[in-house]
Amino acid sequence: SRRLAGKTILITGASSGIGRSCALEFARTAPQDLRLVLTARREDRLKELAQQIRDEVGEGVKVLPVALDVSDPEQVKGFVERLPEEWRGVDVLVNNAGLVRGVARAPEIAEEDINVMFNTNVTGLIHMTQAILPIFKARPNGGAGDIINIGSIAGREPYAGGSIYCATKAAVRAFTDALRKELIDTRIRVMEIDPGQVETEFSIVRYYGDKAKADAVYAGVDPLTPDDIAEVVVFVAGRPQNVVVADTLIFPSHQAGAGVLYRKP
Ligand code: NDP
Ligand code: 8X3
């Protein structure tokens, strides 16, 4: 899309799944003139992705892989200022980094899992947003730029065994909606995309690396692919300035809600 030409896109959690697909989709959509700042903890994977993008679309897309743990406030603070100068003019922030750990029910939920989920999905996303907003706000007419937050159906419909993850995604939703209102006098667009079931490393992480358990989640169903979500991310970023795709919910066709029906037999 010509509307994306010349933009600098910063993606968190670009080493896998939806974030990785977003990087590729942005590159394929605007191969002439684009800068991609790709962040995650696993820098080796980001470097491989940068190479893949170069091989596929050539030098029109410039890629900067940078290690960043969004759950570490010290790394997020000043992150943008530490980028090389030509990379600091971020136009689009895709707040995608996030994870679920376990299926435990209260009171058995591990303290560490609670902290990791909140520190990554909620506080990390808030810190990234705080880091980018001064750059957006420095632009004329009160500021400009896009914030695209990846929420989840889990933030709208909490389910047993997912209480903490669901709470983090509900928090993302509340923060996103409040932020959109706070920025109403600017040209900054605040958008949320809520996927249903997507086959990524999400379930491998949920089951602490147990691939068999993760595979069972997707057995017999036809989940979304991370590319399906990336197409929506790039679509909303490519709308004309006055169009804010504020909120979307995307299911695979076999899904119409989170979890299963709960009632006492
Ligand atoms: P993946 O596990 O495939 O990807 C998650 C990404 O987040 C990885 O790149 C990982 O990189 C990154 N990440 C995790 N923790 C941190 C951290 N502390 N700092 C920086 N990056 C981090 O899962 P998905 O692609 O599915 O998940 C992406 C987003 O989509 C998440 O917010 C998730 O909640 C959401 N989502 C997923 C759904 C699904 O069914 N898969 C449905 C709805 C929403 P690294 O480990 O290298 O740091
Ligand atoms: C992931 C969707 O419902 O599997 O955010 O937790 S769910």
Tell me the pLDDT tens digit for each residue of 199-214: 999 999 999 999 999 9
Q: Whose CA is nearest to atom 32 of ligand 1?
A: 98
CA neighbor of 10 nearest in space, from 130, 146, 116, 112: 146
**For residue 263, pLDDT beyond 80:** no
Residue 188, ligand 2, Cβ within 6 A: no
pLDDT of residue 259: 77
Helix (H, G, I), strand (E, B) or coil at 210: coil
Beta bridge partners of 202: none
Domain ranges of the chain: 2-250
Residues 6+ apart with CB under 8 A from 160: 105, 259, 262
Instruction: Determine whether 159 is an active site residue.
Output: no
> Is the full-model pTM beyond 0.95?
yes
* CB-CB neighbours of 78 under 10 Å: 10
Give the model confidence (pLDDT) of 29-60 as tens digits: 999 999 999 999 999 999 999 999 999 999 99
DSSP 238: T
Tell me which CATH code domain 2-250 carries. Answer: 3.40.50.720
Q: Ligand 2: distance of its center to the CA of 151 in Å?
A: 9
Index of the ligand 1 atom closest to the CA of residue 70 = 19
State how far the alpha carbon of 86 is from the alpha carbons of 62, 67, 128, in Å. Answer: 11, 18, 19
Q: Which residue lies with its CA nearest to atom 5 of ligand 2?
A: 152
Between CA 88 and CA 62 the distance in angstroms is 13
Catalytic residue among 47, 137, 169, 181: 169
Q: Report the distance separating Cα 22 and Cα 37, nearest Å.
A: 12
Residue 208 annotated to the active site: no
In residues, how long is the chain?
265
So what's the pLDDT on residue 265?
A: 67
Binding site membership of 203 for ligand 2 (Cβ less than 6 Å): no
pLDDT reported for residue 261:
67
The helix-helix angle for 43-57 and 17-29 (nearest 10°) equals 30
Tell me the mean pLDDT in the region 167-187.
Answer: 98
pLDDT at 68: 98
pLDDT above 70: residue 24 = yes
What gap in Å lies between CA 179 and CA 234, rounded to an integer? Answer: 21
For ligand 1, say whether the CB of 200 is within 6 Å of any of its atoms: yes
Across the range 212-233, mean pLDDT stands at: 96
In the prediction, which pLDDT does 71 show? 98
Q: Answer whether the bond into residue 158 is a cis peptide, omega within 30°.
A: no
Going by pLDDT thresholds of 50, 70 and 90, the confidence category of residue 149 is: very high
Average pLDDT, the chain: 97
Closest C-alpha to 165, from 129, 113, 128: 113
Tell me: the pLDDT tens digits for 82-104? 999 999 999 999 999 999 999 99
Cα–Cα distance, 87 to 77 (Å, whole number): 16
- Ligand 1 centre distance from Cα of residue 96 (Å): 6
Query: What share of the chain in percent tops pLDDT 90?
Result: 96
